[in-house]
Amino acid sequence: MDISYREVMPLDLPVLVSMERTLFSDAPWSMGQFKEEFSGIPKTRYFVVALDSDKQIVGYAGVMVVASGVDADVLTVAVLPEARRRGIARHFMDSLEKWSSMRVAPSMMLEVGVNNSSAIALYESIGYLIINTRKNYYGPGLDAHVMKKVLS
């Protein structure tokens, strides 16, 4: 699979909403939520998509830095099952970190479900550390780890 990357475009919205329903069926972002996040582009939000050789979106990721010098919050990272384990998410995280560095963010922060072993393995492989665990973060009984990476 030949993968390319670009920043998100408004035209991508329907595809992302549909992917979101498949990948995050418990609490998918709605079209309205995506639009609200995208309204922060380019000042406080950065979103990137991955395309396969047919130029179909196979993944997306986004980050928020609300003001220069403030920690970055990773908002979402998602890759379709058929495109996984090809380094797409690692590439996404690298892009999000580069953009956040340009916004002078001291650290990257994110929340991840305590049972989401693939995502935790991804983040640990690129230097994120678990700094806290939030009880019931995603709903009753659904705890989340807070992970952090200091940007150099």
Ligand X SMILES: CC(C)(COP(=O)(O)OP(=O)(O)OC[C@H]1O[C@@H](n2cnc3c(N)ncnc32)[C@H](O)[C@@H]1OP(=O)(O)O)[C@@H](O)C(=O)NCCC(=O)NCCS
Query: Which residues in this chain contact ligand X in the complex, by CB under 6 A?
Result: 23, 77-79, 84-90, 112, 116, 118-119, 121-122, 125
Cβ 70 to ligand X shortest distance, Å: 20
The residue among 67 and 129 lying less far from ligand X, judged by its C-beta, is: 129
Cβ 16 to ligand X shortest distance, Å: 13
Cβ 111 to ligand X shortest distance, Å: 7
Between the two ends of the chain, the Cα-to-Cα distance in Å is 32
* Neighbour-count burial of 54, counting CB atoms closer than 10 A to its CB (0-12 exposed, 13-18 middle, 19+ buried): exposed
Write a three-state SS string for 19-48: HHHHHCCCCCCCHHHHHHHHCCCCCCEEEE
